[in-house]
Chains A and B, each alone.
Chain A
């Protein structure tokens, strides 16, 4: 089964010009612009219909190529069906008996009567290259690929054992399962103390929690141990991916010296940091990646014993991925499980780069237990972090420098992110404005780097 594409509509960008409708009518029935206003000519025969007004906003009626299409269900003639290779709901003109029942089944006006022919008509995605999308002068229509990852990797083997003891709704478990599935079976995995081994991936009772060789280095020596293992494999002539999945604490604090050393020597390893902004596995202590203002068990909130009122962490977080850029690694990128396709693209590039030298991937990973949000809110929190530019998604190579992979046009105010979780609940207005100004400053800083790269 291949990837399915759908046409996405951004109402905010639409100005109601109707170019998409003319383009559709032209492509499908050859009705040209001269007929635009004529009854049943021009736009009336388009399979994409834009409605609404400038005041109320523009609206769209278009087939969604449903996964559970009701039009198909009610068609008595077997004239409609989903093409599993491209997801398009196809219409068989020869079988159709013009009963209009499909227009009863569809709740989206995705299939409707073309009064000029007396037959139904629906969007067929123009063989994967829709005319309407090309015609839209405002980027309000986009062709997006859905379920790409599922279609591609859904059948691959999950190389972590089932039943790891992560917290309910753990984002890290999701991330590591995706990652190892992608990196594949020819892998040696190093995972220093933290949530990844903590949930059992290094094993219980003499069996490992992975289906690949895994070892459990110290917080301080993960990168060099892994580099040594990799060198050994090279010496015996066996191609393996040397992968580390480490927490932010291990990487940015005590493990930093050896990480920096391995990067400087350009060891051929893929080092992934799962940044949940603290030592969550051992009881939620702060790390140098914990953001300003956040509650942790070592940056508490409330009246301290010494009479000093505490309001969470008083220092800003260290930007570890930018520090790694300054090692001029083969590849450095930030990612988020909120943008899985972006994450997968970067994984591919990082795997490839690790054959040549040091690849570093920094993934922001919300923590339901340590950040205090409901277990079903992981993606939402991850998404808010991206949408507010609290975290930025970019990649760096020596050849192309740094550039954003998911630029955010209109960032949400950072409060949207902060209020999604409990660890920021106590913040004063001053603290919030400090955080907001840091977000702006960080964005500006990375933009400068990105700009410099282009010049």
Chain B
């Protein structure tokens, strides 16, 4: 059986940061990266731009072969983890071979969740999570005249914008009452919706697809209301589910809930096994509950911590808990959200909306501290705002200035406090 000191499964953000952290502390220990993807490492987040054609599919890689050679990392592409045998520290691959490890990181991320709608397996549909998904969608998009996007999360919205710009008639179907539910509030969502409808998209919120059937065009979708839609291109973007199927059988000793449960150092319930990124369920910043916070910056941070823990780096700091952060560009505008959209008990919400410029700002305070800030066309530094929240900085003395000029005031506090 092949043996490696560190085995990292996955080749995206969480996994790459773990490599960096491990090599920072242990430049020599044998290190193997395993990924089921056939390509060099890339980010799912860049895929909408591969779909649109803006990024060439061979120009999005985050590391090259030289990096792996220099860092003495054995990269195994196109090799999937099939089962885990934690009792004997072994990983079983889809091809039947096994790799023994001293420390294992599961950074397997997530895959599109396919809703169990009758008929869905009979129709052809696209998803968007891998580079191959993106090149296929890019090819299909060019021929599309009428496309339907199921799900108005950021993945669906990005794709819908691309389809609109490619000249298709686009309908977005969303179960929730508003677009980008969970990312942005109703006011922001309305601004986003307007940008889409202005550009010719049709948006059906509060609508559920109940049936799918093949048709001459491609697929016929039947909505709860009884109405039907024809699609020559169907994109399913109704959310994601973490990749952890390999934890059946022997691997079932690794505790799971919605994702793989991890401690503040990304350790699972089983010795020598760590998890980070979209597949992991880690501490929230706002409570002791463990949550899924499937965003890129968190995947990177968790991966860094996991790598440090695996290598025994004494500089490790406990994970402070994740906060949701999203940046979203649409039709030349941008929306940014930092922190929790929930207003805590005793919390205070201040909103400012200038209809003429479409500038929208919403700030949530609790006991003088920032817990969330949202903007549409109102730029502020999300990284600085995150720090204000994570450091629980008292903004009471600067409240008015902060509301008037959030970006400028936050930068001043940054410069004074942690520069």
Contact = CB atoms under 8 A, between A and B. Distances in A.
B336 A100 contact: yes
A416 interface: no
Contacts of A118: 329, 332, 334
B117 interface: no
Contacts of B43: 76-77
B17 interface: yes
A298 B375 CA distance: 71
Given A100-B382, A107-B384, A107-B386, A74 B46 contact: no
Given A77-B49, A98-B329, A104 B386 contact: yes
Contacts of B44: 76
A51 to B, nearest CB: 4
Interface in B376-419: 379, 381-384, 386-387, 407-408, 410-412, 414-416, 418-419
A113 B384 CA distance: 13
A156 interface: no
A410 B381 CA distance: 36
A97 B300 contact: no
B325 interface: yes
Interface in B325-362: 325, 327, 329, 332, 334, 336, 338
A402 to B, nearest CB: 38
Question: Chain B interface: which size bin?
Answer: 35 or more
Nearest to B408: A51
Given A104-B327, A105-B383, A107-B384, A77 B60 contact: yes
Given A76-B45, A76-B46, A103 B411 contact: no
Nearest to A94: B59
A315 to B, nearest CB: 46
Interface residues of A, number: 31
A325 interface: no
A19 interface: no
Contact of B379 (A70, A78, A108, A115): A115
Contacts of B411: 49, 51, 59, 61, 109
A309 interface: no
A109 B329 contact: no
Contacts of B48: 97
A216 B415 CA distance: 53
Nearest to B46: A76
Interface in A285-307: none
B395 to A, nearest CB: 15
B300 A99 contact: no
Contacts of A61: 381, 411, 414-415
B176 to A, nearest CB: 23
B102 to A, nearest CB: 25
A439 interface: no
Nearest to A95: B59
B120 to A, nearest CB: 29
A101 B412 contact: no
B62 interface: yes
Contacts of A49: 411
A77 B296 contact: no
B71 interface: no
Contacts of B296: 74, 76, 101
Interface in A19-69: 49, 51-52, 56-57, 59-61
B387 A99 contact: no
B412 A106 contact: no
A108 B55 contact: no
A73 interface: yes
B54 interface: yes
Given A99-B45, A104-B386, A78 B297 contact: no
Q: 6 tightest A-B contacts by CB?
A: A76-B43, A59-B415, A76-B45, A100-B327, A104-B382, A97-B49
14 contacts: A49-B411, A59-B411, A59-B412, A59-B419, A60-B419, A61-B415, A77-B49, A78-B61, A95-B59, A99-B45, A101-B297, A107-B386, A112-B381, A113-B334
Interface of B: 13, 17, 43-46, 48-49, 54-55, 59-62, 296-297, 300, 304, 325, 327, 329, 332, 334, 336, 338, 379, 381-384, 386-387, 407-408, 410-412, 414-416, 418-419
Interface of A: 49, 51-52, 56-57, 59-61, 70, 73-74, 76-78, 95, 97-101, 103-109, 112-113, 115, 118
Given A73-B304, A104-B383, A112-B381, 13 more contacts: A61-B414, A70-B300, A74-B13, A77-B60, A99-B45, A101-B45, A103-B382, A106-B381, A107-B384, A107-B414, A107-B418, A113-B334, A118-B334
